[in-house]
């Protein structure tokens, strides 16, 4: 569903039927975090969802105030793979279990 900032996010829910105006982030709600619409503007989740559709990837989110932007709240994510049972440091790419990563480039002399 499309967030208030106009980006598609699988975790956003909006109910506008018959005058209702219910909006929530189900990823943050599952983590007991308070969602506000401004968080979607800088949230990394829609880009991760576009780049990696692996069904074994589970995202966890929290709202934090990073050091370089102390006045702004930002969504920070971490990822876990249920298949390989390990943390995924680069959720855009995945853990490499289902979709092997290409071998590193070698420069021949
Ligand atoms: S905060 Fe992030 S995960 Fe939540 S609805 Fe907005 S874009 Fe999606």
Whether the CB-CB separation of 15 and 26 falls below 8 Å is answered with no
Would you say residue 108 lies in a domain?
Answer: no
Instruction: Judge whether residue 7 has pLDDT over 90.
Output: yes
**Domain, as residue range, for 16:** 12-87
Residues 6+ apart with CB under 8 A from 6: none
Q: What is the pLDDT of residue 13?
A: 96
Would you say residue 76 lies in a domain?
Answer: yes
Pocket of ligand 1 (CB under 6 A): 3, 9, 11-12, 25, 27-28, 35, 39-40, 43, 45-46, 75
pLDDT by residue (tens digit) across 12-71? 999 999 999 999 999 999 999 999 999 999 999 999 999 999 999 999 999 998 777 677
Gap between the terminal Cα atoms of the chain: 51
Would you say residue 6 lies in a domain?
Answer: no
d(CA 42, CA 33): 16
Total domains in the chain come to 1
β-pairing verdict for 22-25 and 74-81: unpaired
pTM for the complete prediction? 0.86
Tell me what the mean pLDDT of segment 61-87 comes to. 90
Q: What is the pLDDT of residue 105?
A: 67
Residue found under tokens 């249920």: 82
For residue 6, the CA-to-ligand 1 centroid distance in Å is: 11
């Amino acid at each position: 569903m499309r967030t208030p900032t106009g980006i598609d996010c699988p975790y956003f829910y909006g109910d506008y039927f018959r005058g209702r105006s219910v909006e929530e982030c189900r990823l943050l709600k599952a983590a007991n975090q308070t969602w506000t619409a401004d968080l979607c503007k800088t949230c990394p989740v829609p880009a991760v969802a576009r780049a990696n559709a692996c069904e074994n990837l589970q995202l966890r989110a929290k709202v934090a105030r990073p050091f370089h932007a102390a006045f702004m709240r930002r969504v920070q994510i971490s990822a876990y793979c249920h298949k390989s049972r390990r943390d995924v440091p680069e959720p855009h790419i995945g853990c490499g279990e289902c979709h092997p990563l290409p071998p590193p480039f070698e420069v021949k002399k």
